[in-house]
Structure 1
Amino acid sequence: MFDISKIDKLFILMEKKNLDVVVIGPSNTLEFLTGFNPVGCERFQALFITRERQYFYICNLIYAEDMKRWFDAAAPFYIWNDSQGFHEPLQKAVMDFDLNNKTIALGESIRAIDSIDMKSIFPCEFINGSHLLEELRIIKTEPDLDKMRRAARLADEVMENLTGFIRPGITEKEIKIKIEDLFIEKRADGLSFSPIVACGSNNSRPHYRENSGIIAKKDVLLLDFGCRYQGFCSDISRTFFIGNISKEEKRIYKIAREAQEAAVLAAKEGVRCCDVDKKAREHIEHHGMGNYFLNRTGHGIGFDVHEAPYINGNNKRYLERGMAFSIEPGICIPGKVGMRVEDIVVINHQGETEVLNKFTKEIVIIK
């Protein structure tokens, strides 16, 4: 159901930033607040929340029954059908809630074409509301962290299961399907993102997607995947070696792993995100591989697999209790090889740095 305590936090942020209205479309943010994400299509729908602690929902008729289940019976709904369009119902809502000439923060999933349509319906000033909405989720409660621990355990179990499944001759696509099947067997609530399965030189592309490779007798395989459990995400990466490992591969992996471990050790309550990134970056640069460190050191995680806080060189925010984030520096040599090790780390409510993933970071060779 619509969680009023989470909305109270939003009202405080709105007052602080002098915002009149926040608009949230289908997204994980909407699920965080209501318990449900309808997964949007081209039909406009959104939750409008005003500074006066009022709200309403507008949606197409085909979504009305689904969405009403997540609100009180008295919640204001403005429903439109395909023949009618959403302009007239939205005009009525604007009049009912006095939204003319207001400053409106748009969530990340509101489409540009819908914002243009809204501006044609009523005068207002739109601003980017994504950072505001991320603030709602940046500090996890202890029950939230327990769900993330469970999601991480499921990811560890799947990684362990895969070591007995992977062998030369199978395809990246077969491994991807196996990952999906294993999470279903373990009763996860779905994937947190589409798994990355990259062998050969495919793994030099950090977000490789084709799944067209075949595992060779001598190969390097990078896996990156996660699941959702009761709304919260996991994310893990490991690099496996097929057949054997060369001296150069061992050297590169050692650099990537040590950079990851250095960043984990640096990630403490009161430390700036940019300083955590610096630890990983300095280690990789010291070994002459700085040009091949393409990504940030990490990203926040929770209801979204990528959210605040971002562990990069520009983020001067201090780590706080309840924050959860990945640590995943990598080395990607274009057209040759890519390796990374990724764990989810939290600053727990005792102020301790806690690594949620337990799957080994030792070299794993699959024969």
Structure 2
Amino acid sequence: MKIQAIREALTARNLDAIVLTDEKNRRYATGFHSTAGALYVSHKQAVFYTDFRYIEAAKAQITDAEVREIGPGRSYVGVANTLLREDGAAKVALEDDCLTHADYLRWSDSLCAEAVAQGDLMNTLRTVKTQDELDKIVCAQRIAERAFEEILSEIKPGVSEREIAARLTYLMLHYGAENMSFDPIVVSGANSSKPHGVPSDKLIESGDFVTMDFGCICDGYCSDMTRTVAVGSVTDEMRRVYQTVLDAQLAGIQTARAGVTGQAVDGAARQIITDAGYGDCFGHGFGHGVGLFIHEAPNASTRSEQPLPAGAVLTAEPGIYLPGRFGVRIEDMLFLTDDGNRNLTLAPKELIVL
């Protein structure tokens, strides 16, 4: 099914073939994970090349493409040229957004057909999730939520940010994650004003906000969630900021649906934060797409003028950050539909004071 979708995209762009070398694009098209390989797709054939380490598993798992072993002394450029000549292909697309500049030039100079940038071809295809892809994202999210539920009992004064990050990693792996979507962010107190702060040896103190941004991978697909909890007590201002972020998130969620621009979704949340007097403290976008990549299309930010597509998974993660004092971010994942969205995140998000 995905090979056919790639072929239809080639037709729409007047291309004869595409060569996919990026692991995630190869996995999207074939369902097969390997550190080495190249997938060639044209209107006439689809061939997956890999080396001896993966050939048996690839043949057992890949059904929509012919699987061939590349063999010692052969290059992926070389086998691609053989296939291009067989097809009489004149234009072949390359992953300009995944290859290094040097690799892109090397492929372009070596191919026997005109190499063109694939642009947004694969990004656009990956945006709309199949039910199988959605199930894997939900699987990853449930693992992350189970880890979150368990970690709450371990967040207390005297425990370091780094310890909580390590425990989150362990718990997600323990409950079945393939890997982390990204290195967990765990920041507390004044550190929580840094949206992408790095866990440190700082000890959690009573009166701190602790922000945890984390996710894991299930069969190649990512989850992403953020929760901010308080330890011991909160001030009136902390409670007000938390409620403002939650209200902003709910406003964005209420607006998010297929056909609405990402800019409009971001604006609905941003207006709540601005009206509360914290407009300058929300410096990133409302959300981003999630799938095989932790950040992929579509986006919801002040610059996102394109309508959101049905079938995309979009994060909902507004935040307020007061430098040197504290920060709050709350993040869910939404599955966009024509008439709204389905929130894939089940973890509670009312203010938790531990």
- Does the pair score TM above 0.5? yes
Out of 168, 181, 192, the residue aligned to residue 203 of structure 1 is 192
Out of 32, 47, 57, the residue aligned to residue 39 of structure 2 is 47
Q: Deviations over 1:38-90 (max 9, x none)?
A: 236xxxx421222x232334445555555444446982636254x66656555
- How many aligned residue pairs are there? 354
Q: CA deviation at 1:356?
A: 1.6
The verdict on how the C-alpha distance between 1:339 and 1:273 changes in structure 2, with shifts beyond 3 A counting, is same
TM-score (norm 1): 0.85
Q: Does 1:28 align with 2:24?
A: yes
After the TM superposition, which residues 57-68 of structure 1 pair with which residues of structure 2 at under 5 Å, given as runs? 57-59=48-50, 61-65=52-56, 67-68=58-59
Q: CA deviation at 1:266?
A: 1.0
Match of 2:153 in 1: 164
Q: Deviations over 1:160-210 (max 9, x none)?
A: 111111111112221122112222332233322221111233322222235
Cα RMSD, aligned residues only: 2.7
Partner SS, residue 224 of structure 1: strand
The verdict on how the C-alpha distance between 1:142 and 1:87 changes in structure 2, with shifts beyond 3 A counting, is closer
Query: Any unmatched runs of 5+ in structure 2?
Result: none
**For residues 29 and 67 of structure 1, what CA distance do their matches in structure 2 show?**
15
| Alignment check: 8 A CA contact 1:25 1:107 kept | no
The verdict on how the C-alpha distance between 1:334 and 1:103 changes in structure 2, with shifts beyond 3 A counting, is farther
Q: Does 1:119 align with 2:108?
A: yes
Q: Does 1:244 align with 2:236?
A: no
| Alignment check: 8 A CA contact 1:19 1:105 kept | no
| Alignment check: 8 A CA contact 1:347 1:354 kept | yes
**For residues 162 and 299 of structure 2, what CA distance do their matches in structure 1 show?**
30
Q: Deviations over 1:310-342 (max 9, x none)?
A: 112232333343222111011223343221100
Out of 3, 6, 12, the residue aligned to residue 10 of structure 1 is 6
Out of 122, 136, 139, the residue aligned to residue 133 of structure 1 is 122
**For residues 73 and 248 of structure 1, what CA distance do their matches in structure 2 show?**
57
Amino acid corresponding to residue 21 of structure 1 in structure 2:
A
**For residues 270 and 338 of structure 1, what CA distance do their matches in structure 2 show?**
32
Q: CA deviation at 1:262?
A: 0.7
Q: CA deviation at 1:12?
A: 1.1
**For residues 76 and 127 of structure 2, what CA distance do their matches in structure 1 show?**
33
Q: CA deviation at 1:277?
A: 0.8
**For residues 111 and 69 of structure 1, what CA distance do their matches in structure 2 show?**
31
Amino acid corresponding to residue 221 of structure 2 in structure 1:
F
Q: Deviations over 1:131-176 (max 9, x none)?
A: 2112222222334334433333332222111111111111222112
**For residues 75 and 11 of structure 2, what CA distance do their matches in structure 1 show?**
33
Out of 268, 276, 286, the residue aligned to residue 287 of structure 1 is 276
Q: Percent identity?
A: 29
The verdict on how the C-alpha distance between 1:298 and 1:125 changes in structure 2, with shifts beyond 3 A counting, is farther
TM-score (norm 2): 0.88
**For residues 38 and 163 of structure 1, what CA distance do their matches in structure 2 show?**
36
Match of 1:104 in 2: 93
Amino acid corresponding to residue 297 of structure 1 in structure 2:
F
Out of 326, 339, 342, the residue aligned to residue 328 of structure 2 is 339
| Alignment check: 8 A CA contact 2:30 2:64 kept | no
Partner SS, residue 254 of structure 2: helix
